[in-house]
Amino acid sequence: MIKITLPDGTVREFEKGATALDVAKSISEGLARNVLAAKVNGEVVDAFRPIDADSNLQLITWNDDEGKETMWHSSAHLLAEALERLYPGIKLGIGPPIENGFYYDVDSGDQVITEGDLINIEKKMTELARQKNQYSRKEISKSDAVAHYQVKGDEYKLDLLEGLEDGKITFYTQGNFTDLCRGPHIPNTSFIKAVKLLSLAGAYWRGDEKNKQLTRIYGITFPKAKELTEYLELLEEAKKRDHRKLGKELELFTFSQKVGQGLPLWLPKGAQLRERLENFMKKAQLEAGYLPVITPHIGSKELYVTSGHYQKYGADSFQPIHTPNENEEFLLKPMNCPHHCEIYKSKPRSYKDLPVRFAEFGTVYRYEQSGELHGLTRVRGFTQDDAHLFCRPEQVEEEFKKVIDLVLYVFKALKFEEFTAQISLRDKQDKDKYIGSDENWEKAEQAIINAVKGKSLTTVVKYGEAAFYGPKLDFMVKDALGRKWQLGTIQVDYNLPERFELEYIGSDDQRHRPVMIHRAPFGSLERFVAVLIEHCGGNFPLWLTPDQVAILPLSEKYNENCKEVLNLLNKYDIRGFVDDRNEKVGKKIRDAEIAKVPYMLIIGEKEIENDTLSVRKHGEGDIGTMKIEELSAIVYKEIKELV
């Protein structure tokens, strides 16, 4: 008999060789029907794998990330099976799960697969799924595996096999299809209830342009038809909210091939929006004791050799700038930190001076591959709301608490409501990997945990995810469409103070190293604005939005009156514009709705006589007639709730 310990601590006895499915069945049949995989002593395996020794067991369902991964990986096999049926002789590359679904790279030879064929392939997949074929696992020697693919004539699998170690190779089979795979997989194909193939793309074998281009087929599957419908609706909505589309429609930013790929150009409305974000942050930072600094866009190569950034952003990034002086090289700044270290060093520091907090909206440049560029989320030049805090080890907790407050203030002001704090700590088994003393690491890790505890945040702790130079805290934010983004990073650093030999004089009159903390609540302004646009669908919070009001004269006769109203509103700190085009008011209202202007003020004879405004609210319609003072009170109240 073996002892199985469940996550809640209960221990149950089973025959040796029992599977996770057996364990699930012993709890309830209903549960067993939902088990996709199992975590045995921390490793995700097939729920049908025999367990031979006392183990900790966690049953994995669709609600777990690993459950989705197992489902989608198994669906990739199902796709390959369908393709083999429909396109005999097709050769298979790799078919992994991805964040949302899966893909398979295939070489269909002379047979061409087009978008139009996807429905047919989906049908085949559904038909095969209904057969309720078991996924089975078989260990196989390398030579047998090679022989199998030689017979089949699949050079891609043979190429993959070359990199695999004998004794660790497994085949998985469902129905008439066998794939080289390390698993794990779901118990049988009937778990796959809804199938959607989403798109086709070209993909070089092993991502190398010198290799043959294969066809990549993207798909997604669900255990319930309803979930697929919901997902497709979400995709539709995401398309509507795509920041590249809205950025253009709302005239926020543009790109020019002539300026260069991945280099955004902020248009006046976008630049003003960004400036409002910056001012909002600057004000909050001043109140939190930050000191503004400004540093240049380039730095000598030496600076980045010292910081270690040259190793990371050197050869694969923008190349050094040369000057008429030989032996003089500059780099476009990939990070602001080295400059700030030098500012710290500009004068002697005493323990009494710490913490010091240097803040800068610093623009940095990194060479992203052109294929990686995407709207504002992946660019080659971007501005960070960067700050570096230099403190004594015992101040880390307090500083983290303050930064967390700032991050939460930002989220609230921008209507992000769902987020998780993710703490990344060391892998305790592998302490040599990390720079900095054991004692300091212990202290800092505990400080982060304590700081988060005090804020009653939903928290996950990830061991082994810390950088080599320090533990960190990230905020994972869920947007309005349920997608997760990493925003707001706070990172402890023992490395740069060492490399730059930063010091302070302690109360003991001795020299000590300060702890450095990097933090950027927005991260990059470019990426943040992109996430924000998609989160709010272009309906920015009132304090941030480009135009708070659109003033719509009923006819040209009232244009001058409307301009007076705008002047008055400006005095109340309300911004907007008069739509004085020679258009019907209905058209003006429609256009203001499309431009997502929060308030529309309609002015005609009656309004002028009574000194009032007829007010429409975006997405809501008519909210009545009121005086300017009343409108400004409404606007103030709405803003006050956020900032």
Residues that bind Zn ion (CB under 5 A): 181, 337, 518
Q: How far is the CB of 369 from Zn ion (least distance, A)?
A: 23
Q: How far is the CB of 344 from Zn ion (least distance, A)?
A: 12
Distances (CA, A) of 347 to 96, 230, 341, 342, 615: 54, 59, 11, 9, 58
Main-chain phi, psi angles of 145, to 5 degrees: -65, -45
Cβ(594)–Cβ(249) below 8 Å: yes
| Single-letter code of the amino acid located at 187 | P
- Report d(CA 402, CA 408) in Å as an integer: 10
Q: How far is the CB of 467 from Zn ion (least distance, A)?
A: 11
Catalytically annotated residue among 196, 366, 380, 519:
366
Cβ(170)–Cβ(137) below 8 Å: yes
384 is catalytic: yes
Distances (CA, A) of 397 to 20, 200, 426: 42, 49, 17
Catalytically annotated residue among 68, 196, 339, 518:
518
Q: How far is the CB of 20 from Zn ion (least distance, A)?
A: 18
Q: How far is the CB of 172 from Zn ion (least distance, A)?
A: 5
131 is catalytic: no
Nearer CB in complex with Zn ion: 178/545: 178
Cβ neighbours around 39 below 10 Å, total = 19
Q: Is the peptide bond prior to 514 cis by the omega test (within 30 degrees of 0)?
A: no
Nearer CB in complex with Zn ion: 337/551: 337
Q: Where are the alpha helices (DSSP H) in 3-103?
A: 20-27, 29-34, 65-86
Nearer CB in complex with Zn ion: 216/535: 216
Main-chain phi, psi angles of 19, to 5 degrees: -110, 170
472 is catalytic: yes
Catalytically annotated residue among 68, 388, 513, 616:
388
Q: How far is the CB of 627 from Zn ion (least distance, A)?
A: 50
Q: How far is the CB of 476 from Zn ion (least distance, A)?
A: 20
Q: How far is the CB of 335 from Zn ion (least distance, A)?
A: 6
Which residue's Cβ lies closest to Zn ion? 181
Main-chain phi, psi angles of 318, to 5 degrees: -55, 140
Q: How far is the CB of 472 from Zn ion (least distance, A)?
A: 11
DSSP string, 523-559: SBHHHHHHHHHHHHTT---TTTSS-SEEEEESSGGGH
- Report d(CA 168, CA 179) in Å as an integer: 15
Cβ(431)–Cβ(439) below 8 Å: no
Catalytically annotated residue among 91, 357, 472, 535:
472
- Report d(CA 30, CA 24) in Å as an integer: 9
Q: Where are the alpha helices (DSSP H) in 215-307?
A: 225-241, 243-249, 268-287, 301-307
380 is catalytic: no
388 is catalytic: yes
Q: How far is the CB of 130 from Zn ion (least distance, A)?
A: 20
Q: How far apart are the first and last CA of the chain?
A: 62
Q: Identify the three-state secondary structure at position 493.
A: strand
Catalytically annotated residue among 174, 384, 422, 548:
384
Q: Where are the alpha helices (DSSP H) in 585-627?
A: 585-594, 605-610
148 is catalytic: no
Nearer CB in complex with Zn ion: 388/588: 388
Chain centre distance of CA 378: 11
Catalytically annotated residue among 46, 386, 474, 547:
386
Nearer CB in complex with Zn ion: 335/536: 335
Cβ neighbours around 141 below 10 Å, total = 11
DSSP symbol at 370: G
Q: How far is the CB of 523 from Zn ion (least distance, A)?
A: 12
- 3-state DSSP: the chain helix, strand, coil percent, rounded to 5? 40, 25, 35
| Single-letter code of the amino acid located at 534 | E
Nearer CB in complex with Zn ion: 363/548: 363
Nearer CB in complex with Zn ion: 337/444: 337
Q: Is the peptide bond prior to 268 cis by the omega test (within 30 degrees of 0)?
A: no
Residue bearing tokens 């190793």: 311
**Whole-angstrom Cα Rg for the chain:** 30
Q: What is the dihedral of CA 623, 614, 247, 544, to 10 degrees?
A: -70
CB-count burial class (<10 Å; 0-12, 13-18, 19+) for 139:
exposed
Residue bearing tokens 């009937």: 190
Non-local CB neighbours of 68 within 8 Å, separated by 6+ positions: 62, 97
- Report d(CA 270, CA 276) in Å as an integer: 10
Residues marked active site are found at 337, 366, 384, 386, 388, 472, 518
